[in-house]
Chain A
């Protein structure tokens, strides 16, 4: 008790030095909390926009599609999409279910012909938000909510039959604008050739340039007509919350197995590893930032504690003469270090949360991420686990950095320490 009292009072003996040490810890915490929140926000945005625009939370395919579907796509179609959709709709947490049919073909303006990929979607479900290019915050929000932005023209409507939307890159390379007429040419599921006159209703953007450069979106009914089929390639499941993905996936697998339906269920992160790989990359970067911060904090506290020991040699001699054991001296300096960590960590956590929140209100304009062409607004999140991590880290680093100085202090020879001026 008295040891703790002495330790805490000693901290405030050299105010300037303590403030500098505390500032280092506080700065470290703020940096960690902000960086953690920044990365978390980027992960969230990337994941949500990818799920919304491309993968959905879960996709259901005909069994074998993920292995052999690339070579023989039409061999692995789902012939009873409505039955599948009805089953999925009964599950908790499912927002909507919508079929998709993807195919490839040639797209011609009359002058130019180019190969393309088509994605038949149900316009009633697959919403796209209009792009407001002067409003970065709205753009960012729309991307995480809907994934698809309408750059010009309009989104598809359930009543549309011969209207399509072109990806931004595809429209640019075709030189096509809204209202232009195009011819789609493709093989039907049985192998014959079919063509369709369509008009460009809108031009879309997703956060994947690779997608926007080759894809068109068209009503799934039109796609089915073009391919001479009633089947679909996949049934996309959108959930209320991304975190329920694994649970819903498991339930679906159980249901399909019980009903002996030849279907396979894939979660968004199995369909595309882009997100997982980016997370691994960013986390590695974050680890380096963490290490740098930890080293700076350790050195700072170590320096302070070392100075404290050197200045107080005679005091250490005195308390040992008064009967304090070596372990009490060790404790005294450890407590001092830990107290620095606790005070610095507490201020750091509060300030870190505050700074991160304020920055997120303003937002940081970011350049287009890899594989995208549009800027976005980063709004760093205050992540509770990061607050806890920063605090624990402050205390633990403080403890580690005071170990050696405390040990040195406890090993002093009393007679020599007392002679020390």
Chain B
């Protein structure tokens, strides 16, 4: 079952007076339960594709379907609701809110969700336990290591049982082994819960773990 479709996505940026064609007509379909890697060098347009998939950036032209719904004409509030309900995010720099505890960070996306289904605090706690950090629930991000922070971020991404998790270079700021651990964790969740993962990377070992690797080169999908 297709959960995301990108049709002829173009994205142009204005840099000073020059127009940069970041994406030049991307077509992509993602199946439910896929563990999909977007590979390519820096500046190739991976992050832009992820941003479009994650409804945090609008394409200049082309169509995006999330769960069958075309999101082209939606307001920023409607897009926010789609993100809250259907998409989990993992960032390169972990991006935890420093003033919240690990548990509160995991709980946060549930507060924006239209139907979280169950006690939010309990859901957050079980997500945190599933990444092995139940003991660190009351710790603030700065009291955790990079690997632990990224685990909290993964818990935060999956807590609402999203349609897909988008991870932009999730291992780039971790040492190799920790990076692999995070990948294994994501893979495990993917297998156990059939959660779709779409992530960008330029690490060959990580690509090897993916079900499918889509190579992006200069704003286009490499054949």
Which chain B residue lies CB-closest to A326?
B76
Structural contact, B57 and A13, CB atoms closer than 8 A = no
Flag whether A89 is at the interface (Cβ < 8 A).
Answer: no
Chain B neighbourhood of A318, CB < 8 A? 89, 91, 95, 97
Structural contact, B99 and A2, CB atoms closer than 8 A = no
Q: Tell me the bound Cα distance from A323 to B104 in angstroms.
A: 15
Comparing B32-40, B78-86, B181-189, B203-211, the segment that makes contact with chain A is B78-86
Chain B neighbourhood of A13, CB < 8 A? 98-99
Q: Tell me the bound Cα distance from A301 to B191 in angstroms.
A: 51
Of A2, A5, A321, A326, which is within 8 A of B83 by CB? A321
Flag whether B56 is at the interface (Cβ < 8 A).
Answer: yes
Chain B neighbourhood of A415, CB < 8 A? 48, 51, 56-57
Structural contact, B95 and A414, CB atoms closer than 8 A = no
Q: Contacts A326-B77, A415-B56: A315 and B108 contacting too (C-beta < 8 A)? A: no
Q: What sequence of 0s and 1s flags, for each residue 27-61 of chain B, a beta carbon within 8 Å of any chain A beta carbon? A: 00000000000000000000010010010110000
Which chain A residue lies CB-closest to B95?
A318
Chain B neighbourhood of A237, CB < 8 A? none
Q: What sequence of 0s and 1s flags, for each residue 317-348 of chain A, a beta carbon within 8 Å of any chain B beta carbon? A: 11111111110100000000000000000000
Residues facing A in B72-117 (CB within 8 A) are 76-77, 80-81, 83-85, 89, 91, 93, 95, 97-100, 104, 107-109, 111-113
Expressed in whole angstroms, the minimum distance between the Cβ of B161 and any Cβ of chain A is: 14
Expressed in whole angstroms, the minimum distance between the Cβ of B189 and any Cβ of chain A is: 18
Structural contact, A323 and B95, CB atoms closer than 8 A = no
Query: Chain B interface residue count: which class?
Result: 20 to 34
Interface of B is mostly: helix
- How many A-B pairs fall under 8 Å by CB? 70
Structural contact, B80 and A315, CB atoms closer than 8 A = no
Expressed in whole angstroms, the minimum distance between the Cβ of A6 and any Cβ of chain B is: 6
Query: Chain A interface residue count: which class?
Result: 20 to 34
Structural contact, B89 and A322, CB atoms closer than 8 A = yes
Structural contact, A414 and B56, CB atoms closer than 8 A = yes
Chain B neighbourhood of A6, CB < 8 A? 97, 99-100
Structural contact, A323 and B112, CB atoms closer than 8 A = yes
Q: Tell me the bound Cα distance from A326 to B78 in angstroms.
A: 11
Structural contact, B80 and A319, CB atoms closer than 8 A = no
Flag whether A314 is at the interface (Cβ < 8 A).
Answer: yes
Structural contact, B93 and A314, CB atoms closer than 8 A = yes
Structural contact, A418 and B56, CB atoms closer than 8 A = yes
Structural contact, B111 and A320, CB atoms closer than 8 A = no
Flag whether A10 is at the interface (Cβ < 8 A).
Answer: yes
Expressed in whole angstroms, the minimum distance between the Cβ of A283 and any Cβ of chain B is: 44
Chain A neighbourhood of B98, CB < 8 A? 13, 315
Which chain A residue lies CB-closest to B56?
A414
Structural contact, A323 and B56, CB atoms closer than 8 A = no
Expressed in whole angstroms, the minimum distance between the Cβ of B34 and any Cβ of chain A is: 21
Q: What sequence of 0s and 1s flags, for each residue 400-415 of chain A, a beta carbon within 8 Å of any chain B beta carbon? A: 0000000000000111
Structural contact, A314 and B76, CB atoms closer than 8 A = no
Expressed in whole angstroms, the minimum distance between the Cβ of A12 and any Cβ of chain B is: 9
Structural contact, A324 and B95, CB atoms closer than 8 A = no
Expressed in whole angstroms, the minimum distance between the Cβ of A220 and any Cβ of chain B is: 78
Q: Tell me the bound Cα distance from A418 to B48 in angstroms.
A: 12
Q: Contacts A414-B56, A414-B57, A415-B56: A324 and B97 contacting too (C-beta < 8 A)? A: no
Structural contact, A2 and B91, CB atoms closer than 8 A = no
Q: Tell me the bound Cα distance from A202 to B80 in angstroms.
A: 87
Q: Tell me the bound Cα distance from A324 to B79 in angstroms.
A: 10
Flag whether A9 is at the interface (Cβ < 8 A).
Answer: yes
Structural contact, A324 and B54, CB atoms closer than 8 A = no
Structural contact, A323 and B109, CB atoms closer than 8 A = yes
Structural contact, A323 and B85, CB atoms closer than 8 A = yes
Chain A neighbourhood of B81, CB < 8 A? 323, 325
Expressed in whole angstroms, the minimum distance between the Cβ of A369 and any Cβ of chain B is: 54
Structural contact, A319 and B108, CB atoms closer than 8 A = yes
Q: What sequence of 0s and 1s flags, for each residue 1-24 of chain A, a beta carbon within 8 Å of any chain B beta carbon? A: 010011001100100000000000
Q: Contacts A324-B112, A414-B57, A418-B56: A314 and B85 contacting too (C-beta < 8 A)? A: no
Residues facing A in B146-185 (CB within 8 A) are 156
Q: Contacts A323-B80, A325-B80: A2 and B95 contacting too (C-beta < 8 A)? A: no
Chain B neighbourhood of A418, CB < 8 A? 56, 91, 95
Structural contact, A320 and B95, CB atoms closer than 8 A = no
Expressed in whole angstroms, the minimum distance between the Cβ of B116 and any Cβ of chain A is: 11
9 nearest interchain CB pairs?
A323-B84, A323-B112, A9-B99, A415-B57, A414-B56, A318-B95, A322-B109, A323-B83, A325-B80
Besides A318-B91, A418-B95, 17 other A-B contacts (C-beta < 8 A): A2-B107, A2-B111, A5-B104, A6-B97, A314-B93, A315-B98, A317-B95, A320-B80, A321-B83, A322-B112, A323-B81, A324-B84, A325-B76, A325-B80, A328-B112, A415-B48, A418-B56
Could you name 11 residue pairs across A and B whose Cβ atoms are closer than 8 Å?
A2-B107, A5-B100, A10-B99, A314-B93, A315-B98, A321-B89, A322-B108, A324-B80, A325-B112, A326-B77, A326-B80
